[in-house]
């Protein structure tokens, strides 16, 4: 399981754009955000070393993760923002076969909207008990594998 939440950024950049709210999904992403999303996708797909965060040659690619658990609103140094749904969409565009789960503090109505977006397999509210999160993730993974078989 690969988990992305508010933590150390994957990519490094000297971009110092001003603080702005997260862009709508149709808005092109600033370079820093695009770098971060691409780095996350590379880690999830085994194309970037998970520990050193460096890209690896194709023959050294690791096995892709089965589950990507992604926070919906990720702040990069309080200046740039990434939406988890943008990461899920990019995973989907890169042929990710695992489960992309979005964690959100949004209302149930907004969570339902998020669950309909491309690449999102599951949306869970923040504060869901860990045992429930694990059960939901495993059920979604089993269902996705069964559908692909």
Q: For residue 126, what are the contacts with CB-CB under 8 A and spacing of at least 6? A: 103, 104, 105
Ramachandran region, residue 53 (left: φ > 0; alpha: ψ -120 to 50; beta: rest): left
pLDDT tens per residue across span 32-72 = 788 889 888 998 998 887 766 677 777 766 788 999 999 99
CA–CA–CA angle 58, 59, 63 (5° rounding):
80
The pair of structure tokens assigned to 132 is 């429930």
Q: Model pTM?
A: 0.76
């Amino acid at each position: 399981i690969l988990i992305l939440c508010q933590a150390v950024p994957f990519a490094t950049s000297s971009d110092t754009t001003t603080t702005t709210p997260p862009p709508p999904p149709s808005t092109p992403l600033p370079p820093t955000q695009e770098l971060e999303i691409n780095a996350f996708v590379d880690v999830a797909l085994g194309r970037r070393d998970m520990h050193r965060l460096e890209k690896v040659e194709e023959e050294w690619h690791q096995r892709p993760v089965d589950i990507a658990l992604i926070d919906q609103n990720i702040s990069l140094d309080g200046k740039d923002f990434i939406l988890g749904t943008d990461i899920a969409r990019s995973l989907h565009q890169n042929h990710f076969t695992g489960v992309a789960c979005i964690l959100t503090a949004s209302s149930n109505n907004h969570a339902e909207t998020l669950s309909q977006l491309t690449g999102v397999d599951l949306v869970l509210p923040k504060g869901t008990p860990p045992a429930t999160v694990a059960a939901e993730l495993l059920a979604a993974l089993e269902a996705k594998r069964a559908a692909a078989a």
